[in-house]
Every structure is written in structure tokens, then in C-alpha cells.
Amino acid sequence: MPPATAKHSPPGTQLVVSFKHDKLALAFFQTQTQHQLLPPPRTRIFKIIVIGDSGVGKTCLTYRFCAGKFPEKTEATIGVDFREKLIEIDGEKIKVQLWDTAGQERFRKSMVQHYYRNVHAVVFVYDVTSAASFRSLPAWIEECKQHALGHEVPRILVGNKCDLLNSVQVSTDLAQQFADTHSMPLFETSAKNPGSGDGGSRGSSDHVDAIFMTVAHKLKSQKPLILSQPPGGSSTDTVALKRGRNESEESWACGC
Ligand SMILES: Nc1nc2c(ncn2[C@@H]2O[C@H](COP(=O)(O)OP(=O)(O)OP(=O)(O)O)[C@@H](O)[C@H]2O)c(=O)[nH]1
């Protein structure tokens, strides 16, 4: 019996092979997707960009939040890496998209415009063991400003690598002063060992999960983009995004 193949099935159809009275009958049935029958449950999505110098731990932080562990090895991000996690806040399922951007200028150039489009929150990261990464923060803030991301977009400051207690170059006081000046909350953490710390002046570091959940809580009260796709859809799909009810009916295609 030749294998049943459906090379040219029209979109939205499914090949159904049925055996009846020992005869092979092939029938195409229109697949009535949930999307066609019912309005799909809408999942609000939050796009959060994570920026900072190369090597501060952006990939490790986003991986820690989305995969729940520290990556075994990382390489410099080229362009952008995209991770997402479905979380539940007050009974509502929300998709958090973390855009892990390249810290190295040569890997950013062609992508910068994409990073800053339709952003809901910004996470600035520095490495507590690198004064240089802390000194770069004003430049990252400036880049955000140039892409029309001002104070209306929630922003937080994260000092990473708090597990490296003996190599700290950026004091909590200094970082707090900077955060206050720029009206951002400060979190100190370790993607490698969240919750670590000396329990002394630096205290225990914040949990990575708690940091991103705090941002998500803050965003939940806003009206972000609505994703017209049932929860659980592939993150690599091209999805149509619409603005929330209070905003214009403009829509975008997001090839994320
Ligand atoms: N000890 C320690 N090392 C960390 C931590 N987070 C990241 N690292 C290490 O720091 C290095 C850089 O981490 P990445 O997450 O790749 O840094 P990045 O900011 O994404 O770098 P780019 O992709 O180049 O922008 C890696 O060797 C990580 O293992 C941490 O919390 N503690």
C-alpha cells in the first residue's frame, strides 16, 4: 500500500486516512482550529530588554529565570537571544519575553533598532566585580533615551555576580546612589548562586526569579501588547500583535 502523503495540503487542512470496508479512503477535512471556532484566550506579553556591557551576565540571568538554572557554558551573544517564560500573576497567565542583547558593539549594530521596538521594561545589568561595567551604565541609559525609552518605561538596575564576594569593586552604597539618581530600584544578585551573599554589609543577594517577577507585577497593571495566540504557542512563530484596548488599533508583525 503506498504511503499516504499530502504534499500539497492547503494551509489549515489535515490529511485524514480512514479505512472503510478494506478500502483506503482519503479525505481532506478542514481543520477547525480553536482560533476559528472561539476567540482564543489572550495572553498578555511583556517585552523586557536586558542590556549592559559584555560579560556582565545577561545571558546567565535570563537563562536562570527562564530555564531555572545556570547555563553550563555561554558565549558572547550575537545580535539578540530571545527567551520567554509563561508566568501566573493573580490568576492571569502572562508571557514574559526577555531579550538578551549583545553587549559587544560589533554584535549589536544591525540589531539595535529591533531591541528597542515596543519595549515594556528595561533591565540594566552591571557586574559588581567590574567597575568598568558600572561606569558604562550612563551610556546604556543614553542609548535607551535615544530610542525614545524614557522614564515612563519601568527600568531596574541589577548588579550581578554577588557570589564573588572577594572581588567586589562596586559597593552597594554607590550603586544605590546611582539607582536613586535615575529613579530605578536596585537589585543585587548572582545568576550563578542566587540568594548567596555574606549576610553582612552586602546582605544576601536577591533571587533572580524575584527580580523578574517584580518587574512583571509592575507591568501587569499596565496595558501592554496583547498576543493573539493561545498560551503555549511557539516562541519562534511569527505572531500578530495588537495594542491594548486603550490604544490605537494599529497592529504589527513581530518576527521574533
Ligand atoms: N561567578 C559568576 N559568574 C557569572 C555570573 N553570571 C555570569 N557569570 C559568568 O560571566 C561570564 C559572562 O556571562 P554572560 O551571561 O555570557 O554575559 P553577557 O552579559 O550575556 O555577555 P555578552 O553576551 O557578551 O553581552 C560567563 O563566564 C558566566 O559564566 C554570576 O552570577 N556569578
136-182 pLDDT, tens digit per residue, is 999 999 999 988 887 789 999 999 999 999 999 999 999 999 999 99
- The mean pLDDT value of the chain amounts to 75
Contact 18, 27 (CB under 8 A): yes
If you take atom 28 of ligand 1, which residue's CA is the nearest one?
A: 57
**Higher-confidence position of 253 and 216:** 216
Q: What is the pLDDT of residues 51-65, one digit of tens each?
A: 999 999 999 999 999
Q: Is 230 exposed, middle or buried (0-12, 13-18, 19+ CB in 10 A)?
A: middle
**Residue of 50, 53, 60 to test ligand 1 pocket, by largest number of atoms within 8 Å of CB:** 60
CA distance 117 to 98: 13
Residues near ligand 1 (Cβ within 6 A): 54-60, 74, 76-77, 102-104, 160-161, 163-164, 190-192
Give the residue-averaged pLDDT of 101-116.
83
Atom of ligand 1 nearest to the CA of 100: 20
Q: 222 falls in which pLDDT band (50, 70, 90)?
A: confident
Q: Rounded to the nearest whole angstrom, what is the distance from the C-alpha of residue 112 to the centroid of ligand 1? A: 21
Q: 16 falls in which pLDDT band (50, 70, 90)?
A: very low
Q: Rounded to the nearest whole angstrom, what is the distance from the C-alpha of residue 193 to the centroid of ligand 1? A: 12
Atom of ligand 1 nearest to the CA of 63: 15
pLDDT given at position 37? 64
Could you give the residue ranges of the DSSP H alpha helices within the chain? 34-37, 58-67, 112-115, 131-135, 137-146, 172-181, 208-220
Q: What 3-state DSSP class applies to 187?
A: strand
Q: Rounded to the nearest whole angstrom, what is the distance from the C-alpha of residue 249 to the centroid of ligand 1? A: 40
Query: In Å, what is the CA distance from 246 to each residue of 93, 111, 171, 211, 242?
Result: 20, 29, 43, 28, 11
Nearest to 116, CA basis, from 92, 80, 88, 86: 80
pLDDT given at position 183? 93
Bridge partners, 171 (sequence order): none
Taking the whole predicted model, whether its pTM rises above 0.90 is answered as no
Q: Rounded to the nearest whole angstrom, what is the distance from the C-alpha of residue 124 to the centroid of ligand 1? A: 14
Q: Rounded to the nearest whole angstrom, what is the distance from the C-alpha of residue 37 to the centroid of ligand 1? A: 46
CA distance 48 to 52: 13
